[in-house]
């Protein structure tokens, strides 16, 4: 499994929205420019997030995008699955697997365990957590230094 650019850009775009006041819609052009994400691609990603009920789109002079829930209530799992679809490390872990070896496959057991753990990490990590990690990263100046900074 690999998180695509769409998934990455979706997370980055929502971090950008979460950094701002939740009362004012943000223009997609602003998010696109600040995050260095192609506007048209971000528009498609945000439409997936609108369909999932994570953000709302407003038209008009005060148009733009706004979070539908507080950052503490939006998990990375919500975001990734809204954009990428259900997480599956291998095709045999899909809801309707088509593998004839499934009933006797030891590797399936390992893949299943790994998928459960990935989903748990994504489910317990919220947009608010990412905002906090981004602040630490910005202060530390590098991902390695940020990873070594204890969080509360």
Closest CA to 47 of 28, 25, 33: 28
140 or 96: which leads in pLDDT: 140
pTM of the entire predicted model: 0.83
In a domain, 96, yes or no: yes
Residues 65 and 67: their CA atoms lie apart, in Å, by 7
pLDDT recorded at residue 1: 67
137 or 96: which leads in pLDDT: 137
Residue 124, both tokens? 């317990």
Q: Number of folded domains in the chain?
A: 1
Model confidence pLDDT, tens digit, residues 73-101: 999 999 999 999 888 777 776 665 566 66
φ/ψ bin of 128: left (φ > 0), alpha (ψ from -120 to 50), beta (otherwise): alpha
Any idea what the CATH number is for the domain that residue 40 is in? 1.10.10.10
pLDDT recorded at residue 90: 74
In a domain, 120, yes or no: yes
Please give the residue range of the domain that contains residue 107.
5-147
Model confidence pLDDT, tens digit, residues 7-27: 999 999 999 999 986 778 899
For the chain, percent of residues with pLDDT exceeding 90: 56
Model confidence pLDDT, tens digit, residues 98-111: 666 656 778 878 88
Model confidence pLDDT, tens digit, residues 37-85: 999 999 999 999 999 999 999 887 777 999 999 999 999 999 999 999 8
In a domain, 152, yes or no: no
């Amino acid at each position: 499994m690999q998180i695509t650019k769409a998934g990455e850009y979706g997370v980055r775009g929502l971090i950008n929205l979460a950094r701002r006041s939740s009362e004012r819609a943000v223009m997609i052009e602003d998010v696109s420019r600040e995050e260095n994400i192609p506007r048209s691609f971000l528009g498609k990603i945000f439409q997936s997030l609108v369909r999932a009920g994570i953000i709302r789109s407003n038209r008009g002079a005060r148009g733009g995008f706004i979070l539908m829930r507080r950052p503490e209530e939006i998990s990375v799992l919500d975001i990734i699955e809204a954009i990428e679809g259900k997480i599956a490390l291998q095709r045999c872990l899909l809801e309707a697997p088509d593998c004839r070896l499934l009933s006797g496959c030891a590797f399936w057991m390992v893949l299943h365990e790994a998928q459960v753990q990935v989903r748990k990490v994504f489910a317990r990590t919220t947009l608010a957590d990412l905002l906090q990690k981004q602040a630490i990263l910005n202060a530390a100046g590098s991902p390695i230094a940020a990873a070594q900074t204890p969080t509360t």
